[in-house]
Structure 1
């Protein structure tokens, strides 16, 4: 398997499982993952939040862990990366205001490089203007934004355990979909995954 260089976008109150678990999976199978955050330097951290599904009308939120930033956002050259990961949580709602970050996302979309985005991460894809004509899923409350951006909503059901692949784009509604989301993303990366 060829080692891929993967960029992950993070920010304060990124969803804990949606940052930590994909990072660990991708590193475990041998890929190099650089985590960046606007305004943060390598060695600094972002706070995470754990979103859970406990029978309420929406997710609950609890404090998570600190997640390490491993690369300098201001110095990173997205053209040197093979793929992009966008975790969800609350971070996407403000990360999508960063023009440089949106330009990074557009690079991956225009170059047809694999993009894995989960939960509210698709808010960044909407803001970058890369969902027109694409099929994807997300946390259900993001459906109106996806459709307003010209995307087609893919329903995965109430379990949140499925994912959707449309070409280079792999999306999922929330962390319960990690097994399928990461399996589909690793396939796009050319990683060999045994059933």
Structure 2
């Protein structure tokens, strides 16, 4: 049986941990993961940033690594993917302006395919108008957007995650263990449903 295919949509100044860690962890678990960015192709890089919690009123930001994309955005057919991952950072604030990104997110959500978003990744979900009636976690600064999109904001600890049907969300990178564990459970359930069909 071939590995489930996961699409990761990312961009410049994506959060370093929220891109690198799930990308590598999901590969290590045996999934096939394609990381793409609009207007970039396989082999190109995106700049990352590191958001840290150091006692200020908001996070601090530092330049992170360059993350190499392994697929080309323009060549992607979303129908061929089983799931979607949306990292946080600053990338979502401009990625949500891209109609192809919004269309891709709407495909995964309307098809009921597993979707994992973390931190500011919720900005893309809200722009796609696909979370009404859902319970969604995100970085606390995104709470107004989540609620304006008609979702219930999950006010959970920074290391927690929440699953609502096919959607797994979390507030920030300290939630990776919970977020990835819950996403893996949703992926496993979706694979079981496919096998049973």
TM-score (normalised: structure 2): 0.94
Deviation at 1:170, TM superposition (A): 0.2
Equivalence for 1:109:
109
Equivalence for 1:176:
174
Q: Secondary structure of the equivalent of 1:26?
A: helix
Q: Distance in 1 between matches of 2:3 and 2:108?
A: 18
Equivalence for 1:13:
13
1:22 matched to 2:29: no
What is the RMSD computed on CA atoms of the aligned residues? 1.0
Equivalence for 2:62:
62
1:52 matched to 2:52: yes
Equivalence for 1:73:
73
Render the CA deviation track for 1:60-93: whole Å, top value 9, x for unaligned.
0011000011111111000000000000000000
Deviation at 1:18, TM superposition (A): 0.1
Deviation at 1:2, TM superposition (A): 6.1
Deviation at 1:31, TM superposition (A): 0.4
Render the CA deviation track for 1:6-38: whole Å, top value 9, x for unaligned.
000110000000000000100001100001100
Q: How many residues align?
A: 189
Equivalence for 2:164:
166
Q: Secondary structure of the equivalent of 1:63?
A: strand
Equivalence for 1:119:
119
TM-score (normalised: structure 1): 0.95
Q: Distance in 2 between matches of 1:147 and 1:154?
A: 10
Equivalence for 1:3:
3
Render the CA deviation track for 1:25-56: whole Å, top value 9, x for unaligned.
00001100001100111100000000001111
Deviation at 1:3, TM superposition (A): 1.8
Q: Distance in 2 between matches of 1:46 and 1:12?
A: 5
1:85 matched to 2:85: yes
Q: Which runs of 5+ in 2 are unaligned?
A: 190-197
Equivalence for 1:137:
137
Q: Distance in 2 between matches of 1:14 and 1:120?
A: 9
Q: Distance in 1 between matches of 2:152 and 2:110?
A: 19
Q: Distance in 1 between matches of 2:159 and 2:75?
A: 36
Render the CA deviation track for 1:90-140: whole Å, top value 9, x for unaligned.
000000000011000000000000000000000000000111011011000
Equivalence for 1:40:
40
